[in-house]
Structure 1
């Protein structure tokens, strides 16, 4: 089944993921696992929802999982999830009590795995579960399911290719909408409309901001006209059936200066060198240093306090996390790159920024986003 079908992926793909989770459970001698973070819940089940009330995907060490959800959410869950078993509760019921009863009805549950770093698994819920299931032992999954998501399957890569191609179309539309009398909000509205037109999910558009230095990346959107001579930072963060692709480009309102063009070219050259180093077995800190030290050595920034890249893949529709920083490129990162990993790699200086969605391959990083690597200029013909 293609990613355009009823589900984002084939049932075989979801069963592959289930086997990975159950392998983790067997290694830890677990009977059940509770996946209550939207990222892991959605990655395995195909369905994730915000936490107005607690919800989770419950995985047995043998057999198929079931979803604990509100009765209100049964219809959308059935439409998006490959799972067949749903335990649904009314809005006035305590989800923990409903879950405990469901586990008791399904037999032995002596050792239950939960990610203790989950934002959803609060101390109160842990205490309620321990009280409801006094014979059970709760064990920390220690981000093991997050780790299982680190390399993308062929289906996931193909899905991300489709999404990146759509994103390239969106960023050109957004760049074309920037003009002196337009506000940043006006441009963001163009991006949002283009997302809907191209088939992206609901959600956060990204950042359309004007600034003079690298710290404009997460600035607040302004309603004031952009004005002549501004540099506009465009960072688009759409999702296609839950999978995030990302890109950054800079748009000059008018003509970019020679200094801006040379700075942007230097950033791209350092990032291209970084991409070539992104082969299986490379140490993340070494890859990070190419851009970090290169930018500092060139005097493009006085310091470099942010990361140079982070994980992409399934990203929940509602979560405390805007970005997946489980694997990040920082000076202290000792983890190794592997074939099939996908990242958002970015760098910035002097109000300019460039980024790509990239796939790690045996020959280095492959750019999935293919938008021209240049400063876009308003009113200037290519």
Structure 2
């Protein structure tokens, strides 16, 4: 049995694009360790990245080699399109053993499959590529030159296929249901963790047509005074009356994400807070109205900045970031950002979370929008109204 979320042809097209970039970088082999990149190129999907695993892509060999823990090999057979001869499991003696390391095993595979290898690319900044992983590679392949290829696959992922966008739409539907449940449950006197429980139930249940998965992180929920924080975790405290709640969540469909943030006000918001919400929404609209192929990321940020500066508001953090496939710890792709100085040009199929969150000295507000660029402008991945939610 095989479970493939894309056609074999799509996986092979992705691989060709990666090899084209490898060729331009002078790489004989690329060792892919970021779970999202392994998934993108092969389909492999398991919660196994706490031990060393890799996908070795060879310039002169057609299929990549999956290399991972022996007990995870069955998942490689089930979730990837790779034939059996391309799956190389290592025994458990390499797992958390002080005098052995799985990088040694991976190096042996690379040298056996490509004896004349000269340049190997590695993802130096990937979350699960450790300093020891690299040191062991260097020791095991002393005659090889290593080159940083951290975001090579990430940039190939930047433009989504039609099927990927379809999965992101589904993730957006799950996100909408999660937020709806959060708004329904959240009220003064209710514990923060009980709001989180309702969110999680909606997240996993998905819709009648398709289910969900855990997102890369728990819901970011800032209640009351903690609305000033961008990434707080929920507690078992009860919600206060006449207070604010910032909730940032994402549905997840086959590892594809579509995040959204909304602010709930419990009670009657003061006029100054209503005004703040109106200005944030005005800034979001100014940026979204510019979205179309050919515009760059900096231009979207400038539209926001001009709108907000007219009201004396500044945002130090970036306005948004590219989204798509994601594994813990982040749903950002680590490529383009909507910020000053980023001149990445938009094209159909790229997706972003326009993260118009403000964390101020005495409060915060988070009203955001995930979208994908289309020929006519943009398509919103979530349809929940961009507004301050008031629960009197």
**TM-score past 0.5 threshold:** yes
Which residue is equivalent to 2:289? 276
Which residue is equivalent to 1:54? 52
Which residue is equivalent to 1:308? 319
2:248 aligned counterpart, secondary structure: strand
Output one character per residue of 1:32-74: Cα deviation in whole Å (capped at 9) or x when no partner: 2100122322221222545432110111113011111101211
Cα distance in 2 for partners of 1:78, 1:369 equals: 34
Say if 1:209 and 1:222, in contact at 8 Å, map to a contact too: no
Question: With structure 2 as the length reference, what TM-score do the two structures score?
Answer: 0.87
Correspondence for 1:106 among 108, 113, 117: 113
* 1:172-211 correspondence to structure 2 within 5 Å: 172-198=180-206, 199-203=211-215, 204-211=217-224
Which residue is equivalent to 1:14? 11
Of 251-260 and 39-48, more deviation after overlay is shown by 251-260
Say if 1:38 and 1:50, in contact at 8 Å, map to a contact too: no
Say if 1:237 and 1:244, in contact at 8 Å, map to a contact too: yes
1:188 Cα shift? Answer: 0.7
Which residue is equivalent to 1:166? 174
* 1:29-40 correspondence to structure 2 within 5 Å: 29-40=26-37
Q: Classify 1:295/1:325 alpha carbon distance in 2 versus 1 (closer, same or farther; 3 Å).
A: farther
2:229 aligned counterpart, secondary structure: helix
* 1:1-382 correspondence to structure 2 within 5 Å: 6-48=3-45, 49-61=47-59, 62-84=61-83, 85-93=86-94, 94-108=101-115, 109-141=117-149, 143-198=151-206, 199-203=211-215, 204-211=217-224, 215-299=228-312, 301=313, 303-316=314-327, 318-319=328-329, 321=330, 323-349=332-358, 350-378=363-391
Cα distance in 2 for partners of 1:128, 1:346 equals: 39
1:98 Cα shift? Answer: 1.7
Unaligned 5+ runs, structure 2:
95-100
Cα distance in 2 for partners of 1:119, 1:165 equals: 29
1:164 Cα shift? Answer: 0.8
1:308 Cα shift? Answer: 0.7
Cα distance in 1 for partners of 2:12, 2:287 equals: 35
Say if 2:221 and 2:247, in contact at 8 Å, map to a contact too: yes
Q: Classify 1:310/1:211 alpha carbon distance in 2 versus 1 (closer, same or farther; 3 Å).
A: farther
Cα distance in 1 for partners of 2:391, 2:76 equals: 45
Of 277-286 and 43-52, more deviation after overlay is shown by 43-52
Which residue is equivalent to 2:97? none
Cα distance in 2 for partners of 1:252, 1:183 equals: 16
Unaligned 5+ runs, structure 1:
none
Say if 2:221 and 2:231, in contact at 8 Å, map to a contact too: no
Aligned residues: 371
Output one character per residue of 1:97-156: Cα deviation in whole Å (capped at 9) or x when no partner: 221222233233232222333344444333432332333332232522221111111111
Cα distance in 2 for partners of 1:26, 1:324 equals: 23
Cα distance in 2 for partners of 1:113, 1:324 equals: 19
Cα distance in 1 for partners of 2:357, 2:125 equals: 31
Cα distance in 1 for partners of 2:331, 2:257 equals: 10
Say if 2:324 and 2:332, in contact at 8 Å, map to a contact too: no
1:335 Cα shift? Answer: 2.1
Cα distance in 2 for partners of 1:329, 1:152 equals: 18
1:257 Cα shift? Answer: 4.1
Question: With structure 1 as the length reference, what TM-score do the two structures score?
Answer: 0.89
Of 108-117 and 170-179, more deviation after overlay is shown by 108-117
